[in-house]
Amino acid sequence: MTMLLAVRDLTTTFETADGVARAVDGVSFDLAEGETLALVGESGSGKTVTALSILRLIPEPAGRIAPGSRIEFAGRDLLSLSPRELREVRGAEIAMIFQEPMTSLNPVLTVGTQIAETVLAHEAASKREARERALDMLRLVGIADAESRLKSYPHELSGGMRQRVMIAIALVCRPRILIADEPTTALDVTIQAQILDLLTDLKRRLGMAMILITHNLGIAAGIADRVAVMYGGRIVEVAPTVDLYREPAHPYTDGLLRAAPRLDGPDRPTPSIPGSVPPATDWPSGCRFHPRCQYAWERCQSEPPLLEAGPARTARCWLVDEPARRKP
């Protein structure tokens, strides 16, 4: 397995009225060729800012990626690229889709124009070739009657179709990585199922790697090879998907899995995690989860590193060292 993307010590901060928010704080992970990694977390965990940092889409000067952060893509350091070099990577080699396609599509351009535009920006193609590619893409993402849909405007499409168009734009230059940020959160559940199946199918056919950002453990379970759980701007656990769900190592992962509503679960509310996610301007000292953790003890006043928690898995929790304390 070759590493396609290596993120090291990524720290992204924002100036806010309440002080400096360390939205992403020392995040490291790898993405292999063809792999799907899910970044899972609740709001404020830093998962979206991680994704935006990879593409350097952090609005400056309020936000900034701290010195010492490294993002290596296919041997190149994305953080030291010139704006021109960066444009060559964005959209062509790493593409991104967002939760609300309506806000990322241009309302006054037809769907066909918007897909073709991406081709023309990145490749030496003629207008006719670009149009042909747009048509192929619409068919590939399963839009019926693709020929006439090329001339549609975004407002004429349903939410599901708009997300398909976004996927078409993202994939038209055959990127090696697709970053999908909550791609189905705004959609109805039956449409969500269609889009998730489409992403799985395209990923296999095009052989690309994917970073899927989601708050929904069900979605991550169905699509990811590996899952990284984020809390308080940090990755708290990484594991192969099956292992993570079978035996979560971090109490936060465990709490999330217990809280997740299930169709085959009991007919009463699931156990909750007490408290709420602290603001990024004021992370707790020590382990960031310790104020909400049922197992916390003195040692949790100092923050654990990501500890080896089994084959190919790590967890940022002292329980990995002292498993006997997990007994209730």
Partner 1 sequence: MSDPTLLRVENLVKHFSVDRGMFRRPATLRAVDGVSIAVGRGETVGLVGESGSGKSTLGRCIVRLIEPDSGRIIFDGIDVLGLRGRALRAFRRRIQIVFQDPYGSLNPRMRIGPAVREPIEIHRLAPRAAADERVAQLLQEVGLDPSYARRYPHELSGGQRQRVGIARALAAEPELLVLDEPVSALDVSVQAQVLHLLRSLQERRGLTYLFIAHDLAVVRQMAARVVVMYLGKIVEEAPARAIYTDPRHPYTSSLLSAVPRPDPTAPGRRIVLTGDPPSPVTRPSGCVFHPRCPHPLKDDRCRTEVPALRKVGGSQTACHYAAEMDGIGV
Query: HSE-up of 168 (CA within 13 Å, CB side)?
Result: 31
Q: Are 171 and 178 in contact (CB under 8 A)?
A: yes
Nearer to partner 1, 93 or 182 (CB): 182
Least spacing, CB of residue 103 vs partner 1, in Å: 18
Least spacing, CB of residue 52 vs partner 1, in Å: 20
Least spacing, CB of residue 258 vs partner 1, in Å: 8
String of DSSP letters for 156-219: GS-HHHHHHHHHHHHHTT--SEEEEESTTTTS-HHHHHHHHHHHHHHHHHHT-EEEEEES-HHH
Residues in touch with partner 1 (CB under 8 A): 42-43, 158, 160-161, 188-194, 196-197, 215-219, 221-222, 241-242, 245, 255-257, 259-274, 276-277
Nearer to partner 1, 91 or 183 (CB): 183
Least spacing, CB of residue 65 vs partner 1, in Å: 26
Nearer to partner 1, 27 or 244 (CB): 244
Nearer to partner 1, 100 or 132 (CB): 100
Q: CA-to-CA distance for 167 and 95, rounded, in angstroms?
A: 9
Q: Are 259 and 271 in contact (CB under 8 A)?
A: yes
CB neighbourhood size of 70 (10 A): 15
Nearer to partner 1, 90 or 162 (CB): 162
Q: State the pairing for strand pair 3-16/76-77.
A: unpaired
Least spacing, CB of residue 253 vs partner 1, in Å: 11
